[in-house]
Chain A
């Protein structure tokens, strides 16, 4: 559905996007992931025909973005980073205006407005001025705008930026519900969002693609570089530390916060991967109380940081700090 080949975009001396190529199949949900200024928005603007690429070609539904921009624009619904709404217009008349702009025939306009209002569940504010709406509603009006002509491709630039957690979940559910009928590209610097909604992730850093894969594969691919386990033990602290560190394959042992009088430990192992059964055996043999043991995987955030960091500086040799809480933190952003 989307074919991008060797696209480069320069603004004067600054290269925002460098030789980028990727394909998106029909019905796929693809997430652009990258820090701010990585080139996500520029790439999306090239796809939507807002910006011409300096080099390379982009095709949407078989039409070249530069050769046949009108055909491309007919098939794309685009939600820019800040929703392109007129604060002085009512939701209804705004959507009517957009419907006309997108070339929907007059007799189908009111049906199209109703459908868009329904999908984004903003029917209750249809008569209100957009300027009076909350950020979440305005975002959904923006989404309704992108959906109104039932486009093949949806391009959503940070659709959840600036929303509260509840609204984020609503938008996420909405995007998931749109999958299948539409090919969706969305961008984000929030990892959990991409991990939850996208079938495939394209990680962009400094204008280039650093990785493309499913969220699971990306995590798995980097897991080999070190596994880790978290333990909760009741026993003498000094002895535990010494004994755990002696286990074959363990690289480091660090003590965490005490929980209910038990000490917690984070144990990093080398290439061998899962050290849990060995750890459990040692703890039980020593006669201590084992209150918990769990594997700590690398979250997508770690993958992301690792990939984008190694892009900038020389590859970091130390194993990344695993975290499970990172995802919850992201959601609240």
Chain B
């Protein structure tokens, strides 16, 4: 565990000694803030209309602000996550520092978990930035904090899955740009796979629909924890980390 922490700590530190961490966080704060403000303004307009029409009843803050902005959050992830994961292993391979890691008295899985955890810590910073925005809601309305917590659990799971898959792709190349491009391509595919369900009811359509990532987050964003979604994300994390380990072993064989 100490070794995992050693690797993770260095990883987090590097995000902040190089500009990557600041850039990603700043871009995230800007874009997420923009999404959030828009949702807020639209909500306030809709509320005024709703107040004039008695039959509409009260509007739910979670449903009108939290849920759509969380949906937008996942879009930002699609773009920013590859920037976090692409360097994880590719940089080590290029610099030759992978040789230091692989000749130190630590296990391969400790290296991988450490890398993943390090990335997740920066992702955690992003989640905190988002939380500042949501915090504003608590001053002016009474959002359901339990539903928000469930949504955050979903974000952690989804981020973890993307981080693990991105980490794997980063192990396969020495070139960060290559890693970043493939990762972005894969993520984009995961986002649109469920389009197939619109025209296909065959097994293929179902499979594509199941493999798509955003639908699995949808329930979380509503405050609902479903077993199949949880299992989906956990298996994606396990798959990503497992493939990373295998790939790291092959780095040894080929180097």
Residues of chain B contacted by A306 (CB below 8 angstroms): none
Q: Which residue of B lies closest to A103 (CB)?
A: B105
Label chain B's interface by main secondary structure.
helix
Residues of chain B contacted by A103 (CB below 8 angstroms): 3, 105-106
Interface residue total, chain B, C-beta cutoff 8 A = 26
Residues of chain B contacted by A81 (CB below 8 angstroms): 96
In the complex, the answer to whether A45 meets B255 with C-beta atoms within 8 Å is yes
Q: Which residue of B lies closest to A44 (CB)?
A: B103
Bound-state CA distance A316–B127 (Å) is 72
Residues of chain A contacted by B101 (CB below 8 angstroms): 101
In the complex, the answer to whether A11 meets B254 with C-beta atoms within 8 Å is yes
In the complex, the answer to whether B13 meets A52 with C-beta atoms within 8 Å is no
Residues of chain A contacted by B100 (CB below 8 angstroms): 78, 80, 84, 98, 101, 145
In the complex, the answer to whether B3 meets A80 with C-beta atoms within 8 Å is no
Residues of chain A contacted by B104 (CB below 8 angstroms): 73, 98, 101-102
Bound-state CA distance A48–B101 (Å) is 11
In the complex, the answer to whether A101 meets B106 with C-beta atoms within 8 Å is yes
Bound-state CA distance A78–B95 (Å) is 16
A78-B17 contact in complex given A85-B97, A97-B10, A100-B6, C-beta closer than 8 Å: no
Most buried by A among B3, B7, B104, B255: B104
Bound-state CA distance A326–B57 (Å) is 95
Bound-state CA distance A100–B100 (Å) is 12
- Can you report 15 A-B residue pairs in the complex whose CB atoms are below 8 A from each other? A49-B102, A50-B102, A73-B104, A74-B105, A76-B103, A80-B99, A85-B95, A85-B97, A86-B10, A86-B95, A88-B14, A88-B18, A100-B2, A100-B6, A101-B104
What residues of chain A have their CB less than 8 Å away from a CB belonging to chain B? Answer: 11, 45, 48-52, 70-71, 73-74, 76, 78, 80-82, 84-89, 93, 97-98, 100-103, 145
What residues of chain B have their CB less than 8 Å away from a CB belonging to chain A? Answer: 2-3, 6-7, 10, 13-14, 17-18, 95-107, 252-255
